[in-house]
Amino acid sequence: PRTIWLSRHGESSYNLEGKIGGDSDLSERGFKYAKNLPELVSRYIPNNENLEVWTSTLKRTQQTAQYLDYPKKTWKALDELDAGVCDGLTYEEIQKLYPEDFKMRDENKFEYRYRGGESYRDVIIRLEPIIMNLENQENILLITHQAVLRCLYAYFMNVPQEESPWMKIPLHTLIKLDPRAFDTLVTKIKADI
């Protein structure tokens, strides 16, 4: 069966500032990861001559993919969970400005929908076309965002949906998923940056 490769975008300036959402550029470290990716891909991804790279519409995923010389597709459905009115805030700011919401999210992170934004459940629903399209792909690398990757990871690992908000998806790491008959094999390859 085919293999699916996943990666978060490289560290962004918002990641450094602890702000969520937005459309910021990669940090210096994030750019290092982007520069390292072609080597990582050619070393670890076999048959990469037919690889396709999918990113979101946000700059940080496209900057992460910029040195990869493979056909690329951009999907709005791969954009990060929309934090609505909280977009661009830190968690501390959210707790101060919207204490009720902060508490509600803590109590039910899967169902909590940001005001004017999305919940994890909403993200899973909009990922359906991506999952359908993945079925027809031979060799694919998705460069996207933490919440989106948690949902995809939980889906392929057969983890209950409600657990998706807590999946561990580290930065600067290639994740290899090998779906088999009854389970999925996972390998994590940490970039040396």
Instruction: Please indicate if the annotation marks 9 as binding a ligand.
Output: yes
Residue type, 74: T
Rounded to the nearest whole angstrom, what is the least distance from the CB of residue 68 to ligand F6P in the complex? 21
CA-closest candidate to residue 4, choices 168, 190, 157, 177: 177
3-state secondary structure of 111: coil
Active site residue 172: no
Cα(89)–Cα(87) distance, integer angstroms? 6
Rounded CA-CA distance 14/29 in Å is: 13
User: Mask of contacts with ligand F6P, 77-116, x by CB under 6 A?
Assistant: ---xx-x---------------------------------
Nearer to ligand F6P, 15 or 27 (CB): 15
126 is in an annotated binding site: no
Q: Taking CB under 6 A as the rule, does residue 172 contact ligand F6P? A: no
Q: Is 175 in the site for ligand F6P (CB under 6 A)?
A: no
39 is in an annotated binding site: no
Q: Does 147 bind ligand F6P (CB under 6 A)?
A: yes
Minimum separation from the CB atom of position 138 to ligand F6P (A):
28
Half-sphere exposure (Cβ direction) of 45: Cα atoms closer than 13 Å: 29
Instruction: Please pick, from the candidates 165, 169, 171, 174, the single residue that binds ligand F6P as defined by CB under 6 A.
Output: 165
Q: Which has the closest alpha carbon to 115: 79, 86, 94? A: 86
Give SS3 for 177.
strand
**Cβ(20)–Cβ(83) under 8 Å?**
yes
Residues that bind ligand F6P (CB under 6 A): 15, 20-21, 80-81, 83, 145-147, 165
Q: Which residues does the annotation mark as catalytic?
A: 8-9, 15, 60, 80, 145
> Which residues line the annotated binding site for substrate?
8-15, 60
